[in-house]
Amino acid sequence: MLTAIISVIAYLILAPLIGGFLAGVDRIITARMQGRFGPPVLQPFYDVLKLREKENITVNRVQDFYVICFFIFVVVTGGFFFAGGSLLLVIFTLTLASVFLIVAAFSSGSAYAQVGAERELLQMMAYEPMVLLTAVGFYAYTGSFRVDDIMQGSNMSLIPLVGIFAGYIFILTIKFRKSPFDLSMSHHAHQELVAGLKTEFSGRTLALIEVAHWYENIFLLGIVFLFFVNGTILMTVIGIVVCLLAYFLEIFIDNSFARMKWQVALNSAWIAALVLGGINLFIIMIG
């Protein structure tokens, strides 16, 4: 219990700091790949502080309420994960958080935000099967959905779950909102929907969304780490390094591919889930 409490407190404090720092590194690497100098690494923090100082203009009060719920459930999702809770509960909580953000966009009445919300729903349909297969894969191999049970195991999960790992890395492109699947919103200026789902958000509300994404990214990388942990310091270090490499891979993909249609995102994610995740799960079941 004490370990779980310490882990949750560390997540609450460190996740936005690490997530914001990674966002700054993302901007610098992106700028270098595009032949630009780029902003300072702490620019995401400056942006959030500046947003908090701006006047908070919203279409309606309900919109802010939904965004607050989105932020709370994203934080709770990571709290469940780092406390060693059930992966199924973690996934369902994260899905609920996404639903609140979508409803917030729909409530704004903006055409741009509503189209972004519709695309966000399509993206959820694309990545959810692979996310669920990831949880089922851990259960099939370890016999438990609980994160603490998986982490206490003596065997690394990567080799027997290599197909599921590859499928999860694939859908991270969608979850991190990187090209070619940055359909509903984008951190870059090439989004044809203005700001997509977050078009009508501003001030403290938009700052809350940005910080929530930092929390969410650290949680998503935590699942990557889960494939490598086996109770040894060596694999812990390797897991952290692979998390960083996975994040940098997504940055490289983001700057190497143009955005594709939602049909491509949906079809490719389902194919990855069926081929990589489904076959891997079948092999575990008969093995």
pLDDT, residue 200, reads: 80
Measured CA to CA, the distance from residue 39 to residue 47 in angstroms comes to 11
Which pLDDT tens digit goes with each residue over 19-44?
999 999 999 998 888 888 888 999 99
Q: Please give the tally of structural domains in the chain.
A: 1
For tokens 């999702």, the residue is 77
In this prediction, residue 279 has a pLDDT band, given cuts at 50, 70 and 90, of very high
Considering only residues 56 and 103, tell me which one the structure prediction assigns the higher pLDDT: 103
pLDDT, residue 133, reads: 94
Measured CA to CA, the distance from residue 109 to residue 210 in angstroms comes to 21
As a whole-number percent, the residues of the chain with pLDDT over 70 amount to 97
For tokens 């909580």, the residue is 93
pLDDT, residue 11, reads: 95
For 1-9, what is the mean pLDDT?
Answer: 88
Measured CA to CA, the distance from residue 135 to residue 27 in angstroms comes to 31
Considering only residues 145 and 156, tell me which one the structure prediction assigns the higher pLDDT: 145
Contacts of 11 (CB under 8 A, 6+ apart): 78, 79, 82, 218
Which pLDDT tens digit goes with each residue over 74-88?
999 999 999 999 999
Boundaries of domain holding 258: 2-286
Measured CA to CA, the distance from residue 267 to residue 273 in angstroms comes to 10
For 99-104, what is the mean pLDDT?
Answer: 92
Q: Cβ distance 210 to 44 under 8 Å?
A: yes
User: What pTM did the predictor assign?
Assistant: 0.92
DSSP-derived letter for residue 153 is -
Which pLDDT tens digit goes with each residue over 233-244?
899 999 999 999
Q: Cβ distance 220 to 74 under 8 Å?
A: no
Closest CA to 120 of 181, 63, 170: 181
Measuring CA to CA, how many Å separate 94 from each of 57, 99, 122, 285? 27, 9, 16, 27
Gap between the terminal Cα atoms of the chain: 35
Contacts of 30 (CB under 8 A, 6+ apart): 38, 188, 251, 254, 255
Which pLDDT tens digit goes with each residue over 164-198?
999 999 999 999 988 888 877 766 555 555 667 78
pLDDT, residue 192, reads: 52
For 96-122, what is the mean pLDDT?
Answer: 88
Contacts of 209 (CB under 8 A, 6+ apart): 67, 70, 71, 101, 198, 201
pLDDT at residue 48 is higher than 60: yes
